[in-house]
């Protein structure tokens, strides 16, 4: 017999043996989920071939499977069982349970950049989150408003002077939110904030870095180290990791040096100082959590704020409502407070519609630590499986959202919201691993909008009907946030 044929038999035999052994070891999980609908899996590969699409098409494929099989489906990626749950009531039960409070395996793709902490859900996430939580409470955030007001007023002036040209407002908004985050959560002075190592480079490569992470999450072949290297992904990863390391190192170095001179008051302290002063983290862990909370604050706030401005430019009647409300509640000038922002109901509706349309996480994954049942015990998710919540699809389910692909802030009017299952809107996730910075981000984003509208009248560039979505962890506008702007006549004449 030819040695090559012998080798082939041995390889095939080894693979079959491995598959049979895996099925034996996981027979309980397989038996428990046999009745769950989903595409039929192949030996060894599972349903991996079903998801051999461009990353932005992955959510579309999951949407197709749910349309065919229902609100609860399963699929296998090799040996990994994923159970997708779309029903809002089931989502609340699952995400609120202590049995599902670990991030899923896809978050391992973030570890090279940010370590195994707060965002990636490693073993230290709970203790590290507890340390930084005080920087996100209402009292501390109120003390951050002087920075918010100063940076956002400057942004309003910049945007109002753009003239009649079309521009992507995300670039200017991102620079503004970055400065606000640096001078609050990062604890930096204005001078330090403007001179952080590789800052400008970092904030504009973040999108590409997230694309690489999402590629790694969604393309199973990139989990094979030789392929990851041969396809040039390792080189890209190393490039991004170097920038991340130098930026976080500089921020932490500056704060350590500043703390040798004085310690901020408890009510004004940023997260970097808390991590340093806790004495519980290594230098490497401090850097990783610093980068985590930096990029998940300035970048996310920048995207959502740009989305609000984009929608206001395309919805002149809502822009007028929001602007009039700002003048009535806050006035045309002067600093803004958190209590005033809470009174801006029209702005809040546009903000929520932006979060619905552009969710921060298009899809989230959790590891099921213990068996957990839903629907009066008729369905059980077995320990060891991964729970997938397709937030993008929940936010566009026509059973809860009329004309779900249309931008309609009025859907958040109280009389409309009360008709809808409240769990059909989960922009910040739920449970113990919900979004840490939701209150901080909301305050910063709304302050951005108030100051921009005080200075500028926004106008559309193109049509919302032509808006294309890009999905790379979060959902964004594929073609940018393009608008036009001109100074408000009231301010010129005044």
- What is the C-alpha to C-alpha distance for residues 188 and 208, in angstroms, rounded to an integer? 26
Beta bridge partners of 476: 470
244 assigned binding-site residue: no
Strands 469-472, 474-477: pairing is antiparallel
Tokens encoding 159: 């945007």
Tokens encoding 88: 């809002």
Distances (CA, A) of 373 to 144, 299, 369, 415: 43, 37, 12, 33
3-state secondary structure 389-406: ECHHHHCCCCCCCCCCCC
Annotated binding site for heme: 435
- Residue ranges of the annotated binding site are 435
């Amino acid at each position: 017999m030819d040695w090559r044929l012998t080798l082939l038999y041995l390889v095939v035999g080894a693979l079959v043996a491995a598959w049979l052994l895996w099925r034996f070891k996981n027979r309980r999980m397989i038996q428990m989920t046999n009745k769950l609908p989903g595409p039929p899996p192949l030996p060894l590969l599972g349903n991996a071939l079903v998801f051999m699409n461009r990353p932005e098409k992955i959510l579309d494929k999951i949407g197709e499977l749910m349309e065919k099989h229902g609100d609860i489906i399963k699929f296998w990626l090799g040996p990994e069982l994923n159970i997708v749950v779309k029903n809002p009531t089931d989502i609340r039960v699952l995400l609120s349970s202590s049995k599902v409070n670990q991030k899923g395996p896809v978050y391992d793709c973030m570890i090279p950049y940010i370590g195994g902490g707060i965002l990636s859900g490693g073993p230290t996430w709970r203790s590290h989150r507890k340390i930084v939580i005080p920087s996100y409470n209402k009292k501390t955030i109120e003390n951050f408003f002087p920075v918010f007001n100063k940076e956002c007023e400057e942004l309003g002036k910049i945007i109002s002077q753009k003239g009649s040209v079309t521009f992507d407002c995300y670039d200017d908004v991102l620079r503004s939110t970055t400065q606000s985050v640096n001078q609050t959560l990062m604890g930096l002075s204005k001078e330090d904030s403007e001179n952080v190592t590789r800052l400008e480079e970092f904030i504009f490569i973040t999108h590409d870095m997230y694309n690489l992470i999402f590629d790694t999450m969604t393309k199973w072949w990139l989990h094979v180290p030789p392929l990851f290297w041969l396809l040039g992904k390792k080189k890209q990863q190393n490039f991004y990791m170097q920038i991340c390391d130098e930026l976080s190192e500089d921020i932490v170095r500056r704060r350590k040096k500043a703390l040798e001179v004085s310690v901020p008051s408890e009510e004004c302290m940023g997260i970097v100082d808390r991590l340093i002063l806790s004495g519980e983290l290594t230098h490497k862990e401090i850097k990783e959590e610093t980068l985590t909370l930096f990029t998940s604050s300035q970048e996310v706030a920048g995207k959502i704020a740009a989305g609000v401005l984009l929608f206001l430019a395309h919805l002149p009647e809502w822009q007028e409502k929001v602007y009039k409300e700002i003048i009535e509640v806050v006035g045309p000038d002067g600093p803004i407070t958190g209590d005033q922002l809470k009174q801006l109901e029209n702005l809040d509706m546009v903000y929520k519609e932006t979060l619905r349309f552009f969710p921060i996480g298009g899809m989230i994954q959790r590891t099921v630590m213990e068996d957990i049942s839903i629907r009066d015990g008729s369905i059980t998710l077995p320990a060891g499986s991964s729970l997938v919540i397709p937030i993008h699809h929940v936010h566009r389910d026509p059973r809860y959202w009329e004309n779900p692909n249309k931008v309609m802030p009025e859907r958040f009017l109280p009389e409309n919201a009360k008709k809808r299952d409240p769990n059909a809107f989960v922009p910040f996730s739920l449970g113990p691993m919900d979004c840490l910075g939701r209150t901080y981000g909301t305050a910063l984003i709304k302050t951005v909008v108030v100051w921009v509208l005080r200075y500028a009248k926004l106008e559309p560039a193109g049509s919302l009907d032509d808006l294309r979505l890009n999905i790379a962890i979060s959902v964004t506008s594929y073609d940018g946030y393009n608008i036009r702007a001109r100074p408000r006549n009231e301010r010129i004449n005044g």
